[in-house]
Chains A and B, each alone.
Chain A
Amino acid sequence: MLTDDGHRGNENPKRETVGASMTEVVHDSLRCGIEYGVVALPNRHVVSFQFRFLSGTGSEPVERLGLAHVVEDTLDKGTAKRSAQELSDAFDAIGAGRNGGTGRETTTFTCTVLPENFEQAVALHAEFLRTPTFPADAVDVCLDLANQEIEALDDDPAGLVDKYISRKVYGPLLGRHTLGEPETLERIERADVERFWREHFRAGRMMATVAGPLPPKQVADVLEKYFDGFGSAKRDGRNEFPIEFSPTTTHYEKDLQQEQIGICWPGLPATHAEFPTQQAVLGILSGGMSGRLFTEVREKRGLVYWVGAWQETPRGAGMIFLGASTTPERCDQTYSTLLREVDRLAEDIEQAELDRAITGILAQQDTRGDTTRSRCSELASDLFFYGRPVSFEEKTAKLRAVTVDKIRAYLRDVPRDRRCVVTLGPRALSESRGTTGHEQPLHTTHA
């Protein structure tokens, strides 16, 4: 039996320093309650940081879906001191490259600046996170644009499949779409936006990670200076959301050149002892052009241009996805080949392909690891999933411990017969004919 040995849910992190590949990594809590991590990279020319709030679409009131995105989008549209444009100008004045995003469980703000502008970038983030004014006209525009973006999603077949399959895979809470639905957006008012912000944007729900050529003590001082007293320090938002997986096959009719295929089944969460095995399985299936899916579906049969396998890991769960798009008359063959290739892995996996998959994952520590942004993002994921920084050495050792036998055990113990399948396009799969778009769990309009 596979068991969970995760370290997630570290409620009160202790100060700890991890020596990893000649870099210093600090993980601690500020007096105000913010959990933070710093990876000191002395030779870098930029600093990257991420502020993650433990609140996303899963925390929205059911009648106001889309609210988390509206909050994220309007937080910087005016502060006690500056208008939206003045704030953007202030960020540009220090050359900040920044981004915001709303996810199922979290809302994140990322920023990259030259080291000398780090403090000012933190100060500006603190300003809009702590003193937003949510101007009524900005909220109205955001709602209007969200409605337009919902319509625009109709022109994005892969995005539509993601929306449809997510609600079946995750259920009514985590399966929500970031943009919400037209009827729920209609109910959102400025007061809802402010209420959601007050409840969710505070120190106890915030995780800060920083990477770059700054001493960790200096980073902590800057964070403390600008976030001291940022709402309640009570640790919140660290529990898993309930997931309702619906093993169904559904076709959505749409006039397209290609049929989009999405397949999903439950896998293992990021904290599971056998998670590295799952990573290796995905590497073998889809890690490079020698991966099984690319080889069998594209190179040997010419069925697709695009094919892939990936995972999503909300806290406490793991979902395995397969995806491809092909012209309608080839969708049945593409679908059966995708599933067959996963099953076949248990029968004839070779040591060489496992070695390649592991090498591929580890090589990215050197390639993508050369960018400061990627180091920041990796530390942020470690804190979110494991409640602590995880050294390269530890990750490497766990991956290197994956064997062919472990892969076979994984494929035996993680069932794939309860799966969720969504197709979008002009033709249903043979096995799903008669199930066209009959489910509407979240008030959707059909494609």
Chain B
Amino acid sequence: MSNRYTQHTLSNGLRIVIETMPDVRSAAAGFMVNTGARDEVRDAAGVSHFLEHMMFKGTGKRTWRDITVDFDRMGSSYNAFTSEDRTVYYGWVPTADIEKQMELLADMMRSTLPTEEFEMERKVILEEIAMSKDNLDHVAFDFLQERLFEGHPLAWPVLGYDETVASMKRDVMWEYFQARYAPDNLILVVAGNVDAARVIATAESLCGSWKASGTKDRRMPPKLRTGAVSLQVEQFKQQVVALTFPSVSARDPVVETVSAMSTILGGDNSRFFWNIVQKGLATRAGTYHMDYDDFGVMILYATCQPENCEVVLDGMRTEAKRMGKDGVQEHEVQRVKNKRRTGLAVESEAPYHRLTQLMDDMQTHGAPRTVEQMLAEVDAVSIRSVGEYLEKYPLTGEGFLTSVGPRRWPS
């Protein structure tokens, strides 16, 4: 491991990962909580996300106003987000303020979830849910998850449902918070022009007294469905068509191969782009490898006019079949590798981008990956590795078809 990276675990189980970036003028710090929508029960769907909002609402020593004022006093670029399998809080500041930034984030992790703020935040989240219903992509993605993972916690939207948010009890949230936000379920990540020993000492003084909970994950991969379902929403003008197939998990060693294959099929300069979008069939067509620690799926998708659904689906199936039969070309693999190299160089400039990559690494591999390691994985991608992947995970079966828009298709 390069000495650019430092890992340390406090006695209460809090893991700390630091990347030292001597050429930059800023630093980013963040807590990643190993919890998200897939850890919820149906009646409390949305609790992880609601909790993320409540974490900004007050601590033993700060009111909600103090928290936002303290962030802004540093000029921090800060936010938080919740996904299916993690919740992240971060702040990106000039280097001189990194310890203040860590202190503020650490204080937030011990929120009091003030009762008096609970109702106000409920209103905000109900507005967020309403906003999501006006967004075609959001509606289409939620529908895909709801049907593909039916009966599994991944079927529930991250924002929750109107009724679960409207009836959410603070006591339920508090219990969830105590179980999931213990130090042995958290990772502190710091990237930037920082002194690693000093970061560890600061973290020890801020978080060393927190009590571990011994929380264990009970995550299980879902059973994937095949078939076809549609959701007719007359409010929209366009149709989103998506075709989903099984794929590898984020932990699989061939994940760079999957990424390369996905880019060649559905990236910027891809087969979908030239043979679907540039044929005027759809405004957008692409691929998305949705990968979790325990499973993954490959989604082929397009946004098109409702009357073009059949031809767009046929175009996606044709390209997927052609790739399965003829494989990919050497120049296609090479250009994807080249773009990835530039991407890694761009990412290495900014502490915030490194922070998010380190969080991905920790979630998936349990350790940071050096740029050299990532480049080696990129270099290992070949025509053969793509062929082997497609043989194991073909994109030619029935798949699971979803369609959302004004047209009830397939009927």
Contact = CB atoms under 8 A, between A and B. Distances in A.
B124 interface: yes
B68 interface: yes
A151 interface: yes
A239 interface: no
A33 B341 CA distance: 34
A114 B124 contact: no
Interface stretch (B199-207, B251-259, B272-280, B357-365): B272-280
Most chain A CB within 10 A, of B131, B135, B280, B350, is at B131
A340 to B, nearest CB: 19
B127 A367 contact: no
A363 B75 contact: yes
A288 interface: yes
Given A114-B341, A305-B128, A327-B127, A295 B237 contact: no
Interface in A276-326: 287-291, 294-295, 298-306, 325-326
Contact of B345 (A43, A45, A287, A288): A45
Given A45-B348, A359-B74, A371-B349, A288 B68 contact: yes
B25 A370 contact: yes
Contact of A152 (B25, B93, B134, B303): B303
Interface stretch (A4-12, A88-96, A182-190, A215-223): A88-96
Interface in A383-411: none
A347 B56 CA distance: 28
Contacts of B342: 46, 95-97, 112-114
B25 A369 contact: yes
Contacts of A64: none
A97 B346 contact: yes
Given A299-B120, A363-B76, A367-B94, A290 B336 contact: no
A359 B124 contact: no
Most chain A CB within 10 A, of B71, B77, B130, B331, is at B130
A308 to B, nearest CB: 13
Contacts of A287: 72
B305 A290 contact: no
Contacts of B335: 89, 92-93, 95
Given A46-B345, A370-B349, A258 B277 contact: no
B127 A151 contact: no
B349 A302 contact: no
A59 interface: no
A286 to B, nearest CB: 11
A440 B106 CA distance: 54
Interface in B109-128: 119-128
B338 A94 contact: yes
Interface in B126-159: 126-128, 130-131, 133-136
A271 B280 CA distance: 43
Interface in B62-111: 64-65, 68-69, 71-78, 92-95
B124 to A, nearest CB: 5
Nearest to B192: A370
Interface stretch (A24-32, A142-150, A167-175, A244-252): A142-150
Contacts of A43: 23
A372 interface: yes
Most chain A CB within 10 A, of B339, B340, B346, is at B346
Given A46-B346, A367-B77, A257 B338 contact: no
Contacts of A138: 278
Contacts of A355: 73
A194 interface: no
B133 to A, nearest CB: 5
Nearest to A42: B23
Contact of B349 (A96, A304, A372): A372
B127 A359 contact: no
A149 B303 CA distance: 10
Contacts of A157: 134
Contacts of B69: 290, 352, 356
B238 interface: yes
Given A256-B235, A289-B68, A370 B274 contact: no
B68 A305 contact: no
A155 interface: yes
A294 B348 CA distance: 32
Given A114-B341, A148-B283, A371-B349, A356 B73 contact: yes
A163 to B, nearest CB: 14
A101 interface: no
Nearest to A98: B268
A256 B305 contact: no
A366 B283 contact: no
Given A289-B56, A359-B74, A112 B346 contact: yes
B71 to A, nearest CB: 6
A290 B124 contact: no
Given A95-B338, A154-B237, A305-B124, A114 B345 contact: yes
B269 interface: yes
Most chain B CB within 10 A, of A288, A326, A327, A366, is at A366
A302 B123 contact: yes
B331 A257 contact: no
A103 interface: no
B268 to A, nearest CB: 8
Interface in A322-371: 325-327, 352, 355-356, 359-364, 366-371
11 contacts: A95-B338, A97-B339, A97-B343, A148-B283, A257-B133, A288-B71, A289-B71, A290-B65, A369-B26, A370-B349, A371-B346
Interface of B: 23-26, 56, 64-65, 68-69, 71-78, 92-95, 119-128, 130-131, 133-136, 234-238, 268-269, 274, 277-280, 282-283, 303-305, 331, 334-336, 338-343, 345-346, 348-352
List the 10 closest pairs (A to B, CB-CB), nearest first. A363-B75, A302-B123, A92-B335, A95-B338, A288-B72, A95-B342, A305-B128, A289-B68, A290-B68, A366-B94
Given A44-B23, A44-B349, A305-B131, 20 more contacts: A45-B348, A46-B342, A88-B269, A95-B341, A97-B343, A113-B342, A114-B345, A145-B280, A148-B283, A148-B305, A149-B283, A257-B131, A288-B68, A289-B71, A291-B72, A302-B127, A327-B130, A363-B77, A367-B94, A372-B346
